[in-house]
Structure 1
């Protein structure tokens, strides 16, 4: 068994050290039945580089930016699904020149919103409103993620509950919810780190030995390295465990990493470094300055 995305909340917020092309936000919720509204905000202080505002009272989706204290002109795509009381899944990705909005729920929806400020200025993702069962997570596309490649994740853990790190296949939508090649579920209450995979909604056998290398509310650095036989996982500069590839979810050439319930994400970086083995001690070398406060 496993819980890929955790339990729903009524709001979501992640502080970001960086937001660059190739990163995305995926939001799931049940649309309100009373005709109210939601907001997904890409913030930099008082500026809002993109406000995604489904208005179920007006049956419209409104996109806008607030820069220098003033709202700019609205854009209103006309094919976004606005049925009340329905499950909605919306992905918003940062590309070179625009935010790309994408959804496969109900009618296919795709829309480009040209940047009105530098996307790298985004420092916070905030979701709020009257939708229920709200789930939001931040991720990044990992092109050509094959043997010898790795992903480095630096963030701060929540103070309670836990969080997830998932590796999923990258498709044209950058995300597919029913396949997880590697699920890392940090569960503070149980004192375990779950490793698992998921194929079309069916979880494999859990692995949860090797203790708990994370601390509530503390910074962490994780490196997931693609080796021939499986993923090598390092936490805070020390080898933690290996997760063998499973036949139902093998290593794929294009992957995404997604983080669920991580309140501060400093960096997600695609790296190419060697895994060295000395007398059975596995050490991942990554040339960045890293400090656990």
Structure 2
């Protein structure tokens, strides 16, 4: 079985319809990060069998804001909707960010929201027929990321992104130093965000630097990276903080210490990592 690594969709214009290359596979997942608009009445995420109007919809996820908050899950086939499955503990409050993870299992779609299990929706249509994702309604989306089943990728040794350091299989590229890398968002007088996974400490350090002075480190929130495994990191710049989403799951939130966001002009990535794409 072969798996193609599909590029994410970033900041799509809503309503949005996009292709799922090769269709869905068991064990595959789709992570959708975004924000419900204030005063929203409803929005939806569909996994569809085709992109034409009237196409069958294998999974319809439909948060509604009609007096009370609830979420409708359903399937559309033969030109009509099936029986609704409703959840009244909606994790999608209006005006709030969310991270939705849809995982394809043999019998159902498993839905996680903000890292917490939300629902299982049993298949009414074969998931192999799904080849399209669509999003519409009162919502903005920062990223839609496709993750292949665990084990679908070979493990690659870490290597330095700096020229002059050839890959050393199984070893960090700087002898005597454990493998790590960092992502910096910088301005003229320092670093607004320093994001630094450290594998030997099993933590991600976040910090800011003004001139030559580092501030206090933030270390909570777990370690979402694994040595030798591919990842997608999305940095969402919001009004009060940077929201850091790893493989579609919100991993960290870093409150702005440097608030002149328009002066952040440089992205720097350095260390034991190889890059397949960078989108700004």
TM-score normalised to structure 2 length: 0.50
Larger Cα Rg: Structure 1 or Structure 2?
2
Higher strand proportion, which one? 1
TM-score normalised to structure 1 length: 0.48
